[in-house]
Amino acid sequence: MTFTALWLRLELRRRWRSLVVLALLVALAGTAVLASVAGARRGDTAVDRLVARTSPADITVLPNQHGFDWDRIRALPEVEALTTFVISSFQIEGVPDNSTGFAVADDANMRTIERPIVLQGRLADQARDDEVVVSAHFPGAFHKGVGDYLTIRLFTPAQVDTYVTGADPGAPAGPSIRARIVGVVRSPWYHDNVRDQGSVAVSAALYLNHRANFVGSTDQIYLNALVRLKGGEKTIPEFRADLARVSGRTDIDIWDNAELERHATRVNTFEGDCLLGFAGAALIAALFLVGQSVLRYTSATVADLQTLRGVGLGNRQALAAASAGPVIAALLGSLLGAAGAVLVSRWMPIGAAALYEPSPGFDVDWLVLGAGLVLTPLLALAGSVASAWLALASAQNRTAPRRSAVAVATARAGLPVPVVVGTRFALEPGRGRTAVPVRPALLGAVIGVLGVLAAFTFAAAVADAAANPARFGQTHQLESFLGLNSTDFGKVDPVLARIAADPAVTAVNNARIAVAESGDTSITTYTVDPVGGKPLSVVTVSGRLPQAADQIMLAPTSARALHAEVGSWVTLTGAARARREFTVTGIGFVPEGSHNDYDAGAWATTDGYRALFGTTFKFHLAEIALRPGSVTAAMTQRLQHEAAPLTGGQSIGLQQVTAPQQLAEIQDVQTLPLFLGGFLLLLAAGAVGHALATAVRRRRHDVAVLRALGMTRRQSRLVVVVQATVLALVGLVFGIPLGLALGRTLWRQVADSTPLAYHPPLALLTLLLAGPVALLLANLLAAWPGHRAARLHVGQTLRAE
Amino acid sequence: MTALDTPAEDLARPAVPAVRITGARRVFAAELAPVRALRGVHFEVGPGEFVAVMGPSGCGKSTLLNVIAGLDTVDEGTVEVAGERVDGRDQDWLARFRRHRIGFVFQFFNLLDGVSALDNLVLPGVLGGMGRRAAESRGRDLLDILGLGDRTAQLPSSLSGGQRQRLAIARALVNRPGLLLADEPTGALDSEGGAEVLELFRRLHEDGQTIVMVTHSPEVAAGADRAVRMRDGRVVDDGATATGPTAAGSDAAESGAAGGPS
Ligand SMILES: Nc1ncnc2c1ncn2[C@@H]1O[C@H](COP(=O)(O)OP(=O)(O)OP(=O)(O)O)[C@@H](O)[C@H]1O
Ligand SMILES: [Mg+2]
């Protein structure tokens, strides 16, 4: 023990820089891994924790009936709390309607139900109509925060009467109220979605003090309600029964709010899984790159200790002495890493979970940090003991050192001495006291390039998918709703023909949609029916579209459910129990609809469809694709205008297609692989830098000899530059193809499981820049060790060795 | 006729001494008190001369050789090698100067451990501007002459002490230096190895090589033209008594100049 302590003192004095670098590497890795694991855990539980703290409504009850008697509902045994809100509107200057929120009609809101977390400021006084609170996105989107004022404009009772009839009431002409934003709040009901601008929640007093401006002169206004049930979601059936009994209605719409929360949790879990994936990749890279630094460090120590073995140093003492430094560094590094993770927690959780986080800001996850603090030094201990043991074993093994064919070839080629020596330093470990393991540094360079390339390739794929609804099979931009339940809204064909004739329109598909069954699986079936010779391009995963009545293309998830592949036969049951056999000609995506996701359903020919459903349909819908860049409101209006004469002046419904939810989820984690790439770059730079510094120190004798033989300072610096360059080149040669392959393989996994159309990603910029950046970085890293090599005091070094 | 005898210097002008040091002082900073390694050294070596430097441990012998080779610098005084000032030069000038003018044999060999015996000779040859092939054939010649012809591919660590020192001497000769400096070349060798090395030096000297050799051993010193004694950083006896430097030196110089490049 005393020897270990003494040795450690010497080490700390001699090699504190190496140990500091090691500690910093551990700290960096620790921060990345701990922060992302803690962040993933935090994101997973964000919704649950918010729900636990805010007494949220379990259901939203929508009778849409004026004069509905809420007091009787409030008195039902299942109901714990209830607050009503007004289906009527008001405006706030400079804030669009979808951000103004509803006016609440009683002060139970935010008191006994949906009592929000206050992120900033305080809750509004429900008795004051001039106080409002906002959700978290609002201050950023509208540049108004706590202490700022908003102007609320109410309609006159006469305007409300106009509004109730469905006509346009014009700009509000009633009273206007200057209301102060007193707080920023969050609860499941008062939360933001990923792309929301945030919203305002007004006080109950606004409605209570200005009732006429909401209900008009006829009192024709609906109050709906948020309800919190004593037994939670489980008691919805009892509530529904009592609601029917009390109200005499069975058709009242009840939304299950937990359903929304479950969706949010699903998204958060997906994002959390991405973070865990990030943590895993970071951990593996860190184990590897930090591991090689530990290896190099201990093998250097063991080489020094060899001389002491002659005077009686035992194996165990040597092992203890060799691992003491790295363990101390790991201990320090893990403390720094834990501190870093706490700092980073400020930005956690990421993505959608951040919108539910009840206590944003710094967070200390003791379980994760504790595990990190215990495991990191243990890993360092295991790693350094193992590598010291290996070094001891190899020191006793007197085989000739490995020669590198490349290094020999550079010498044979008669290249300048610094090139020959630099290549040798990079590729040959040397032997004896000056031996420096080179494989870890080489692998470090490869892993660095590989990791960065894989991460950026993956990121390119994510960016591509996030920007391309076509990856989710959505190749049309507009949708026209033409009929429901086997009845068209008008004469459809001439309208579609007219739209298809527009030069900006590239495809029109006239889809009849109905749901077929195969066993337990429902298959929403679309007709392939191009209008005007402009077929919709369907994104196929494999095979092709159906061309005959007994052919069908299945969407990937449906194909999986039916265990079908291209060439399989499937039996579908349509309307009136019509059963038909189809051969699967392809797997591909379908339009996302109200009855199906883009990955579930099927395409059939019009004949095939007719065989199943006759002339019936659930929906009649046209998918319309436009030339890139022409999807605008003006364009939509133009098409509507063109169609108007054919529909007798009635405008047809043309909606812009919204991107599938999965796209938003993927967009949300878009930055993760970039962080991973940056992290790997830092780690690799640290490892290679450490390798160069170690090599110069361990091989200063060789450098000094060469200097004595007449090598100039510039040439000595060049030796290190060549060494760094060779490391970078090896990293590039192996790292680029492997990284590209890894990035693509990972993306294929994601594409298969999402699912989405796999499109081989190519991070062109990264590919182009990888070489120059790696070489530049290597040379920057070589600067300091090169300087040391050039500054070497030859006489002194030679007399010392 | 041999590979040994071809100093690059033009030694035909005896007027220019191979080494001339005047008033050299060198102080090292040390923990307790500064160490005065050289305290006003005057020292001269004629062309073609073989000089032994002797003196007790720590008297400044190695420092003296180092300042001649430009591996160390003087704080005061001048150092000239073959008429050229070495003091006050920058590192790169000194590096280039060493390539052709100086051959240095260290007490502890200082060979490159990871490369073969031949490559230990090729590297300085290429540094000195030879092509790879020329350096290789020069290296082989030297190894043959020094009796290491069958050891070209061996690593230095697998050679005996005497063989290693011969390899180090061969390395010092690759670029045909005008001046061969040797710091206790026999110090790490047994008497047999020491004799081997001394015999080699004598042959070199006969071929006209100027040599300055530090040694502790009177027998070794006896092989030189003259023995210089140092004590406490000063030259106390420059040994210029028995054989005058000029006579032997000019003879050797002529034979040296006559022996053309190999
Ligand atoms: N770089 C240095 N730093 C500090 N002191 C030094 C340094 N180099 C030499 N010295 C000191 O200068 C003095 C002369 O050293 P030098 O090596 O020249 O002696 P030497 O005559 O060669 O001795 P030896 O016969 O033992 O090799 C010694 O006292 C030595 O400790
Ligand atoms: Mg000495």
CA A615/CA A714 separation, integer angstroms: 86
Q: Is A480 exposed, middle or buried (0-12, 13-18, 19+ CB in 10 A)?
A: buried
Going through chain B in order, the beta strands assigned E by DSSP cover 19-28, 35-45, 50-54, 76-81, 84-85, 102-105, 179-183, 210-214, 226-231, 234-237
Q: Is A737 a member of any domain?
A: no
Which one has a higher pLDDT value, A402 or B31?
Answer: B31
In the predicted structure, residue A736 carries a pLDDT above the cut 90: yes
Confidence band, pLDDT 50/70/90 cuts, at residue B34: confident
In the predicted structure, residue B259 carries a pLDDT above the cut 70: no
CA A567/CA A590 separation, integer angstroms: 19
Nearest to A572 by CA among A514, A485, A486: A514
> CB distance B91–A714 less than 8 Å?
no
Q: Is A258 a member of any domain?
A: no
Produce one character per residue of A770-780: b if its CB has 16 or more CB atoms within 10 Å, e if not. beebbbebbee
CA A566/CA A146 separation, integer angstroms: 60
Chain A residues closer than 8 Å to B127 by CB: 417, 706, 709-711, 715
> CB distance A709–B111 less than 8 Å?
no
Produce one character per residue of A503-535: b if its CB has 16 or more CB atoms within 10 Å, e if not. ebbbbbbbbbbbebebeeebbbbbbbbebbebb
The CA-based angle A289-A295-A298, given to 5 degrees, is 145
Question: How far lies A612's CA from each of A545, A569, A579, A618, in Å?
Answer: 18, 15, 7, 13
A264 close to A356: Cβ distance less than 8 angstroms: yes
Point out the ligand 1 atom lying closest to the alpha carbon of residue B59.
21
Give the distance (Å) from ligand 2 centre to CA of residue B248.
Answer: 28
The interface residues of chain A toward chain B in range 259-318, judged by CB-CB distance below 8 A, are: none
Give the distance (Å) from ligand 1 centre to CA of residue A306.
Answer: 27
CA distance A727 to chain B (A): 19
The answer to whether residue A94 neighbours chain B at the CB level (below 8 Å) is no
The CA-based angle B114-B119-B123, given to 5 degrees, is 105
Residues A70 and A32 in one domain: no
pLDDT above 90 covers a percentage of chain B that reads 35
Which one has a higher pLDDT value, A299 or B178?
Answer: B178
Helix B117-127 × helix A417-427 angle, to 10°: 140
Domain B8-255 sits in CATH at: 3.40.50.300
| Mean pLDDT over each residue of chain A, to the nearest integer | 84
CA A567/CA A544 separation, integer angstroms: 11
CA A775/CA A786 separation, integer angstroms: 15
In the predicted structure, residue B20 carries a pLDDT above the cut 90: yes
pLDDT of residue A401: 59
pLDDT of residue A313: 65
Q: Is A770 a member of any domain?
A: no
Q: A256-287, pLDDT tens digit by residue?
A: 788 777 777 777 777 788 788 888 888 887 88
The residue whose CB lies within 8 Å of the most ligand 1 atoms, and thus the one to mutate among B59, B106, B216, B231, is B59
pLDDT of residue A369: 92
Which of A218, A251, A284 terminates a domain? The answer is: A251
Chain B residues closer than 8 Å to A701 by CB: 110
> CB distance B98–A420 less than 8 Å?
no
Query: pTM surpassing 0.95?
Result: no
Chain A residues closer than 8 Å to B95 by CB: 707, 710-713, 715
Which of A139-153, A295-309, A511-525, B228-242 shows the highest mean pLDDT? A139-153
Q: Is the peptide bond before A326 cis (omega within 30 degrees of 0)?
A: no
Give the distance (Å) from ligand 1 centre to CA of residue B46.
Answer: 26
Ligand nearest to the CA of A798: 1
The answer to whether residue B120 neighbours chain A at the CB level (below 8 Å) is no
The interface residues of chain B toward chain A in range 54-73, judged by CB-CB distance below 8 A, are: 62, 66, 69, 71-72
Helix A671-698 × helix A713-753 angle, to 10°: 150
pLDDT of residue A179: 92
Task: Say how many Å lie between the first and final Cα of chain A, rounded.
Answer: 29
CA A577/CA A517 separation, integer angstroms: 10
Ligand nearest to the CA of B234: 1
Which of A397, A423, A440 terminates a domain? The answer is: A397
Structure-token pair, residue A76? 């039902």
The helix (run of H) or strand (run of E) holding residue A523 is strand A521-528
pLDDT of residue A34: 93
Average pLDDT value for residue range A561-585: 90
Residues A361 and A378 in one domain: yes
Query: Sheet harboring B226-231: ordered strands across?
Result: B102-105, B179-183, B210-214, B50-54, B226-231, B234-237
Produce one character per residue of B198-223: b if its CB has 16 or more CB atoms within 10 Å, e if not. bebbeebbbbbbbbbbbbebeebbeb
Chain B residues closer than 8 Å to A416 by CB: 126
φ, ψ of residue A201 to 5 degrees: the values are -115, 115
DSSP, collapsed to helix, strand or coil, labels residue A679 as: helix
Residues A489 and A385 in one domain: no
CA A326/CA A384 separation, integer angstroms: 7
A170 close to A155: Cβ distance less than 8 angstroms: no
CA distance B227 to chain A (A): 24
Least confident of A385-394, A496-505, B204-213, B242-251: B242-251
Question: How far lies A656's CA from each of A539, A635, A637, A653, B134, in Å?
Answer: 19, 11, 12, 10, 79
> CB distance A713–B115 less than 8 Å?
no
pLDDT of residue A121: 92
DSSP 8-state symbol, A154: P
pLDDT of residue B248: 39
Average pLDDT value for residue range A678-695: 79
> CB distance A705–B112 less than 8 Å?
yes
The CA-based angle A618-A620-A622, given to 5 degrees, is 145
Which of A501-505, A701-705, B29-33, B62-66 shows the highest mean pLDDT? B62-66
Confidence band, pLDDT 50/70/90 cuts, at residue B4: low
Chain B residues closer than 8 Å to A791 by CB: none
Number of domains into which chain A is organized:
3
Residues near A322 by beta carbon (within 8 Å), at least 6 away in sequence: A298, A301, A302, A305, A384, A385, A388, A391
A524 close to A589: Cβ distance less than 8 angstroms: no
pLDDT of residue A166: 66
Least confident of A562-571, B19-28, B122-131: B122-131
**CATH at residue A492:** 2.40.40.20
Q: Is A335 a member of any domain?
A: yes
pLDDT of residue B254: 39
Q: Find out whether the beta carbon of B58 lies less than 6 Å from any atom of ligand 1.
A: yes
Q: Is A265 a member of any domain?
A: no
The answer to whether residue B122 neighbours chain A at the CB level (below 8 Å) is yes
DSSP, collapsed to helix, strand or coil, labels residue A552 as: strand
B168 close to B112: Cβ distance less than 8 angstroms: no
Least confident of A2-16, A171-185, B6-20: B6-20
Q: Is A711 a member of any domain?
A: no
Q: Find out whether the beta carbon of B38 lies less than 6 Å from any atom of ligand 1.
A: no
Residues A182 and A297 in one domain: no
In the predicted structure, residue B7 carries a pLDDT above the cut 80: no
Q: What is the DSSP string of A411-426?
A: HHTT--HHHHHHHHHH
The answer to whether residue A702 neighbours chain B at the CB level (below 8 Å) is yes
DSSP, collapsed to helix, strand or coil, labels residue A722 as: helix
CA B222/CA B211 separation, integer angstroms: 14
A355 close to A49: Cβ distance less than 8 angstroms: no
Residues A89 and A234 in one domain: yes
pLDDT of residue B257: 37
The interface residues of chain A toward chain B in range 383-412, judged by CB-CB distance below 8 A, are: 400-401, 411-412
The answer to whether residue B115 neighbours chain A at the CB level (below 8 Å) is yes
Q: Is A559 a member of any domain?
A: yes
In the predicted structure, residue A324 carries a pLDDT above the cut 90: no
Average pLDDT value for residue range A168-173: 82
Residues A135 and A226 in one domain: yes
The residue whose CB lies within 8 Å of the most ligand 1 atoms, and thus the one to mutate among B61, B217, B232, is B61
**ipTM greater than cut 0.85:** no
φ, ψ of residue A652 to 5 degrees: the values are -85, 150
- Full residue range of the structural domain in which residue A632 is found: 475-658
> CB distance A712–B91 less than 8 Å?
yes
Q: Find out whether the beta carbon of B37 lies less than 6 Å from any atom of ligand 1.
A: yes
Confidence band, pLDDT 50/70/90 cuts, at residue A603: very high
φ, ψ of residue A522 to 5 degrees: the values are -90, 135
Least confident of A570-574, A741-745, A792-796: A792-796
pLDDT above 70 covers a percentage of chain A that reads 94
Question: How far lies A770's CA from each of A590, A598, A688, in Å?
Answer: 39, 37, 16
- B38, β-bridge pairs: B26
CA A608/CA A602 separation, integer angstroms: 11
Give the distance (Å) from ligand 2 centre to CA of residue B93.
Answer: 25
Q: Find out whether the beta carbon of B35 lies less than 6 Å from any atom of ligand 1.
A: yes
Q: Find out whether the beta carbon of B59 lies less than 6 Å from any atom of ligand 1.
A: yes
Residues A552 and A641 in one domain: yes
Residues A77 and A226 in one domain: yes
CA distance B3 to chain A (A): 19
pLDDT of residue B246: 41
Point out the ligand 1 atom lying closest to the alpha carbon of residue B230.
21
> CB distance A414–B126 less than 8 Å?
yes
Residues A191 and A240 in one domain: yes
Q: Find out whether the beta carbon of B24 lies less than 6 Å from any atom of ligand 1.
A: no
The answer to whether residue B104 neighbours chain A at the CB level (below 8 Å) is yes
**Closest protein CA for atom 18 of ligand 1:** B60
Average pLDDT value for residue range A232-246: 87
Least confident of A455-459, A594-598, B97-101: A594-598
Query: Sheet harboring B84-85: ordered strands across?
Result: B35-45, B19-28, B76-81, B84-85
Residues A610 and A506 in one domain: yes
pLDDT of residue B252: 39
pLDDT of residue B245: 43
Going through A549-653 in order, the beta strands assigned E by DSSP cover 551-554, 569-573, 579-588, 602-605, 619-626
Structure-token pair, residue A214? 């909401």
In the predicted structure, residue A749 carries a pLDDT above the cut 90: no
Question: How far lies B118's CA from each of A724, A739, B128, B167, in Å?
Answer: 26, 41, 16, 9
Q: Find out whether the beta carbon of B63 lies less than 6 Å from any atom of ligand 1.
A: yes
pLDDT of residue A11: 79
Q: Is A488 a member of any domain?
A: yes
Residues A190 and A336 in one domain: no
